[in-house]
Structure formats: C-alpha cells, structure tokens
Amino acid sequence: MGLVQFITLDVIDIFLVSLIIYFILLFFRGTKAISMLTGLILVFLLGFLANILQLRALSWLLKGLETVWLIAFVIVFQPEIRSILSSIGKKQYFEFLRKDKSDIEYNRTIEEIVEACQWLSDQYIGALIVVERLVGLKHLLREDGVSLDATVSSYLLETIFCKGSPLHDGAVIIKGSKIIAAKTRLPWTNRYLGKETSQLGMRHRAAMGIAEETDAISIVVSEQSGDISLAMGKKLVRKIDIDTLKVNLTQNLLEPQRSKRRWMEDIKVLLNRIK
C-alpha cells in the first residue's frame, strides 16, 4: 500500500510540474522570450542532472548560469512578464482544448497569399510578406509598422503593395488568417548569400534577417525581375514558381496545424478516459 501511494504521489508530482511548464510555455508563446526561456529550462535540467550525478564543478558552473539567465530574462522581458502576470486567470488562456482552425481556413489563407504573389509578380510590383509560425512577431510592432486586423485576401495584399500606396514600403505580417501589420521594418541579415549577394535588394536581406531570428516564412517578390523568393531558416530559395510556393506554404503551415490538432484530440480523449 505504501509503495502504491508513493508511486501515485510521484505521478501527481510529475504531472503538476509538466502542467506548470506547459502553461509557462503557453503564456510566453507569441514573444521572443520563448527562445530564451527554452535555453533557461535546458540549463536548469542540466543542473538537475549534474546534482544527481554529483558533478560538483559542473553543478557550480550551471548554478551561476541559472542566476545570470534568470536576471537577464526578467530585465529584458519585463514588459512581457508584466503583461502575462496581469492576464493570469483570464478565460482566454484556458481555451487550449478548443478546436483549432479548420483546414479550409488555412487552405483559403494559403490560396489568397499565392494568388496575390502571382499578380504582384506579373505586374513587377515589389512585396515582402512574412507569415508567423510559432515564434511571435509582436515585438516588430513596438518600434514601427501599422497595426491591422484584417482577414487575409489577395485583393488587400495587392492593394497594400501597389505602387503609390502609403503602406507599400516595409513588410506585411500575417498571423493565422489575419494580416496583423503592414509597413513593418525587419532586421537585415549581414550574411553572405552566395555569388549573387550584391544583386539582392533590401527586401531579400530583410526576409533573411527575420527568417534567421525566428521560424517565420518570408516571401519576396522582386520589383525588378518579378521573381518570387522564399526565405526560411538560413535558406533563401530564389526564382521559384507559384506551384512551388504553394507546396512550401502547405507543408510548413497546414501540415503542422493538422499534427497539432491530432495531438489536441488525443489529449481530449485521454482526459475523458481519466474522468
């Protein structure tokens, strides 16, 4: 009986810690803090293992790093922490079991982006479209950009980038099925991008800059040649056709959502069984 009670308490303990970590990651999702938070968690885990294995020197070093990272985290991300703490308890944070956006909605968003890129390319109109994934891009709106809350449509994207539009310069930021910002300035990359580096303009460098800092997908339409390029991670794929663009967007936007939805359904089934 004692052994069963001990095992039960361990399971409850592990479940509660996992739940706390899950909600912390959920709260910080949508900000740049998520990368630093992940690193901090890894340092804590290494410190925990070092203590178990009685690695004294490593434990001392990691304990020092934990303190430095924690202080840096609080200082650098003070606004996000204040906002998150003030929002704890709101209903919106407990809707993680709701059904995700349907495939139809994501397919429609992809279709609208592809259609806009095709038209912009045919008209030789320069454009820079950034699609947010897991790492949030809200920080880009603090310094510059025009906030929007509009459903993604090819007509709207074409109008924004049309020559003479006050929102023509800068990048459009898309989150889910919404255009959340336009005329946004992005960080530039200083990396060597191949033998054609000197031929790449500001849009290509900005596309690579945000793709290197986050997991966002950047689409560039060249004003000079009409070529469409795709930036993701540390790769810049140039001169792709419209079908290739659609395939890449589907693989990197729609498929992860399907996997996430299947995972959430499994969690719901598990919770129902526990009840």
pLDDT at residue 3 is higher than 60: no
Query: Which is higher by pLDDT, 250 or 267?
Result: 250
Where along the chain do the CATH 3.40.1700.10 domains lie? 103-258
Residue 147: strand pairing partners: 181
Q: What is the pLDDT of residue 162?
A: 92
Task: Report pTM.
Answer: 0.60
Q: What is the pLDDT of residue 51?
A: 74
Give me the mean pLDDT over the 5-28 stretch.
72
Q: What is the DSSP string of 81-133?
A: HHHHHHHTT-GGGG-TTSPPPPHHHHHHHHHHHHHHHHHHHHTT--EEEEE--
Q: What is the pLDDT of residue 160?
A: 94
Residue 218: strand pairing partners: 130, 231
State how beta strands 228-232 and 217-221 pair: antiparallel
Q: What is the pLDDT of residue 73?
A: 66
Q: What is the pLDDT of residue 98?
A: 42
Q: What is the pLDDT of residue 44?
A: 73
Please, are residues 84 and 74 in contact by the beta-carbon 8 Å criterion?
Answer: no
The model's pLDDT over 218-235, given as tens digits with 9 standing for 90+, comes to: 999 999 889 999 998 888
For 103-258, which CATH superfamily applies?
DNA integrity scanning protein, DisA, N-terminal domain (3.40.1700.10)
pLDDT at residue 1 is higher than 80: no
Write down the mean pLDDT value for the chain: 76
Q: If pLDDT is split at 50, 70 and 90, which confidence band does 274 have?
A: low
The model's pLDDT over 164-211, given as tens digits with 9 standing for 90+, comes to: 888 888 899 999 889 999 999 888 887 756 656 556 778 888 898 888
52: phi then psi, degrees, rounded to nearest 5: -65, -45
Least confident of 32-46, 117-131, 241-255: 32-46
Q: C-alpha angle with apex 131: 126 to 136, nearest 5 degrees? A: 130
To the nearest whole percent, how much of the chain has pLDDT over 70?
A: 65
Q: What is the pLDDT of residue 99?
A: 43
